[in-house]
A and B are shown apart, each in its own frame.
Chain A
Amino acid sequence: MLTTKELISLDNHSSSKDEIITQLVELAYKQKKISDLAGFTEAIYRREAEFSTALGMSIAMPHGQSDTVREPFVIFARTEEPIQWDQNQVQLIFMIGVPLANRSDTHMKIIASLSKKLLDESFRQSLLESGIDDALRLMQL
């Protein structure tokens, strides 16, 4: 499972891109998904620098590919209020971590299908309205 209850943060009070990135990286660290806070944070920002992972639809998908990742994971966070993420306002944040080596196609395919599903407005609406149990169910693809 890429997402567990512990990796879901609903009603998140973060008010900026940097704040929520810091917070979610810490969550990944606490849940033992990554071995190094600074190393993974750097991977996230390196990717953001290529082009913003917020491309409309109220979504941001910060992702890091790094050997600091112990096992692939997807954190789902929903902020209480929309926050500014580069050029866009976002409320649904998916932080993805994948290791550089030893990653299975299965996990990569799950992440690919989540990315595709996020284009579906009704899926996004469900994520905006869901409680923790429904959110977890929606994230199990």
Chain B
Amino acid sequence: MKIVGVTACPTGIAHTYMAQEALEKKAKEMGHVCHIETQGSIGIENKLSKKEIKEADVVLLAVEVAIEGMERFEGKKIIRKSIGECIANTQGIIFDVIAEVENS
């Protein structure tokens, strides 16, 4: 499955980046393609390309604050999860996302 997503935490200092790393690593381990954009204190990094968004099966938003560029995801399947859960229970979150996409 192809997953794209955005992480953004209240201060954009630590968990934005921790969640990105956790999700990309775990998804890859589980055999999925996953690209996560961070919107934090350094601004937007690891920016999603139009192509990646177009090809993605699902958009995972782990955002605790308003983010930029929501219009890019118009018409896509969007799933929202808490950023804390994405770090504490990364594998469970990915299972959930996949199950939700497959059942929709």
Contact = CB atoms under 8 A, between A and B. Distances in A.
- Ranked nearest first, the 10 interchain pairs of A and B with the lowest CB-CB distance are A112-B17, A116-B21, A115-B14, A115-B18, A55-B88, A50-B10, A55-B87, A108-B41, A51-B84, A56-B88
Interface residues of A, number: 24
A65 B13 contact: yes
Contacts of A55: 15, 84, 87-88
Contact of A115 (B15, B25, B84): B15
Given A65-B11, A112-B42, A119-B22, A50 B17 contact: no
A136 interface: no
B5 interface: no
Given A56-B88, A109-B42, A115 B64 contact: no
A116 B21 CA distance: 6
Nearest to B11: A65
